[in-house]
Amino acid sequence: METKKIEKMRGALRGEITIPADKSISHRSVLFSALGKGKTHVKNFLEAADCLSSAACMRALGADVERVGEGEYIINGCGLRGLKEPSIVLDAGNSGTTLRLSMGMLAGQPFLTTFMGDASLSRRPMGRVIKPLAQMGANIRGREGDKLLPITILPKHTPLQAIQYDSPVASAQVKSAILLAGLYADGDTTVRELYVSRDHSERMLSAFGAKLKREGSAVTISPAEELVSPEEIIVPGDISSAAFWLVAGSVIEGSDLLLKNVGVNPTRTGILDVLFDMGAKLELLDARVSGGEPVADIHVQAHGLKGVYFGAEIIPRLVDEIPIIAVAALFAEGDTVIEGAGELRVKETDRLSAILTALNALAPGSVEERGDGLIIHGGRPLKHAKVDSYDDHRMAMALSVAGAAGAGADIEKPSCVRISYPSFYEELERLSR
């Protein structure tokens, strides 16, 4: 089995890092441009496996997606009603975003589409998207009670029905799928969440001319005849990728890092709130707006951390960052308590279980599982151990930071970082020289 050996860091991490493009926004830039009328020049697109799955699926549906340079694409959209029936089964790879948002886009189309994915995606639940789409009149069939891949979306020759949907989970993917389907509905469609999830879809759909209205935790979209593609979309850096350096720079003694071009959308900055509460030494510099998204550079310096508590109300704003927050908690003084994180059980792996097993291998007795949360006892001695990434990119990078800051680690199945951060290991080596 492939293994990546991470050595204990002998010095500090120092330097500047240009953070890879935001995965969520990269997905949406190609998906929404495929629905738009006209050409969009997308710059700083994340050329990682998940986002390339979105590009490939849109090509198969008739959009002209042309790579014109590193991270640069020209997308000539089909328009809301110009997508074509694909001649192949669409492969979403490992990407839940590609699959779930595409299901919303295609729920009202007059042709048949079938999706497949890799082994991990084929285990992830799609019923949470299929249920509201079915309420809108979509006819979607999948495996095991219409919950798992492969999934087929049957033709729809009449408008979808507008609904008001109270989502049982705060999920940007579920919300986005319903909003996209709402473009093809017979009236205004509303999604209400317990807590507001990331709002990249709302921001970008507005840039394409869609009519949206937000009231509290509810967002309403009106049906549209057409979306007009903006001439340019510049994708900011992904705070979920920056998170690994925010923690590494905080817990590896003497570190001093400047993270460039980081998206700081308020629906995504829960990681900053938690690290500030833990006592991290962070500073946001050169705040600006790019393509409707707030962006800043972030300066992080090593500093002692303390344990904190956080619960369900902030989880949607940091759900992807919990593996690396758990690593920060290992090096903090006192206990960190995480509650209301059940959404982690249906990610690329059951991340709560994965965190428990892997961190206890590196720091025995440091992590307890409690319901849909964790208790992490900071300050326990770390040892070098072999740990499984579970083929989960965020687990692999979080465990690499734990190994570098602790006593080293041998990461099994390390190449999964290609999903969101293909150059991660090279950056870790460069910054430690």
CB 90 within 8 Å of CB 102 = yes
Sheet holding 309-310, edge to edge: 309-310, 335-338, 373-377, 367-370
> Which residues are paired to 410 by β-bridges?
5, 386
* Three-state secondary-structure class, residue 30: helix
Identify the structural domains of the chain with CATH numbers, from first to last.
Answer: 3-20+237-431 (3.65.10.10), 23-219 (3.65.10.10)
Query: Tokens in use for 305?
Result: 């951390």
Would you call 320 a catalytic residue per the annotation?
yes
Closest by CA position to 357, among listed 389, 319, 314: 389
Which pTM was predicted? 0.88
Question: In angstroms, what CA-CA distances link 4 with 7, 59, 198, 412?
Answer: 10, 35, 33, 7
Task: Rounding to the nearest 10 degrees, give the CA dihedral for residues 46, 252, 298, 201.
Answer: 40
Strand intervals (E) in 184-341: 189-192, 212-215, 218-221, 232-234, 256-263, 281-290, 293-301, 309-310, 335-338
* Three-state secondary-structure class, residue 272: helix
- Segment-wise mean pLDDT, segments of 10 residues, the chain, 433 residues: 94 96 96 97 95 98 98 98 98 97 98 96 94 98 93 98 96 97 98 95 96 97 97 95 98 98 96 98 94 91 98 94 98 98 87 96 97 96 97 96 98 95 96 89
> How far is residue 96's CA from residue 132's CA, in Å, rounded to a whole number?
17
- Phi and psi torsions of 367, nearest 5°: -130, 135
- Phi and psi torsions of 133, nearest 5°: -65, -35
Is the link from the previous residue into 150 a cis peptide, with omega within 30 of 0? Answer: yes
> How far is residue 205's CA from residue 221's CA, in Å, rounded to a whole number?
10
Kindly state the DSSP code that residue 416 receives in the 8-state scheme: G
Question: Is beta strand 212-215 parallel, antiparallel or unpaired with respect to 218-221?
Answer: antiparallel
Cβ of 395: how many Cβ atoms within 10 Å?
A: 26
> Of the residues 297, 320, 388, 391, which is catalytic?
320
> How far is residue 364's CA from residue 401's CA, in Å, rounded to a whole number?
17
> How far is residue 21's CA from residue 23's CA, in Å, rounded to a whole number?
6
> How far is residue 246's CA from residue 295's CA, in Å, rounded to a whole number?
16
